[in-house]
Amino acid sequence: MLDTGATTSLISQSELNHIPHITIQPIQTTAILGDGQTKIMVNSVVKLNVTINHITTIITALVAESLGANLILGMDWCNSNYVNVNI
């Protein structure tokens, strides 16, 4: 899922368990979602390969115990890959 309101990319722990990845840093913290009130537990930072339309990119994502989607590509990914979102 692409979320232009998310400053950082996130992946759920359950999704991460099924894909190869490199753990960059184990951490224990919380992230605050865009509503300014909802907090989610974050337990590490990982590096992942993400392929969209046959183009592979590398992302650094926070790992959340519980997330509304398997993967959220935030503005960090959009900016580093020159993604132009036309709404």
Question: Is residue 62 included in any domain, yes or no?
Answer: yes
Question: Is residue 85 included in any domain, yes or no?
Answer: no
pTM: 0.86
| Dihedral sign of CA atoms 49, 20, 34, 32 in order | negative
Question: Is residue 34 included in any domain, yes or no?
Answer: yes
Question: Is residue 86 included in any domain, yes or no?
Answer: no
Domain count, the chain: 1
Instruction: Note down the domain range covering 33.
Output: 10-80
Rounded mean pLDDT of 55-81? 93
Neighbouring C-beta atoms of residue 45, cutoff 10 Å? 17
Spell out the residues 6+ positions from residue 68 whose beta carbon is closer than 8 angstroms to its own: none
Average pLDDT, the chain: 90
pLDDT band, residue 32 (cuts 50/70/90): confident
C-alpha–C-alpha distance, residues 72 and 4, integer Å:
10
Question: Is residue 4 included in any domain, yes or no?
Answer: no
Q: Is 15 exposed, middle or buried (0-12, 13-18, 19+ CB in 10 A)?
A: middle
Question: Is residue 72 included in any domain, yes or no?
Answer: yes
pLDDT in tens, 15-25: 999 988 888 88
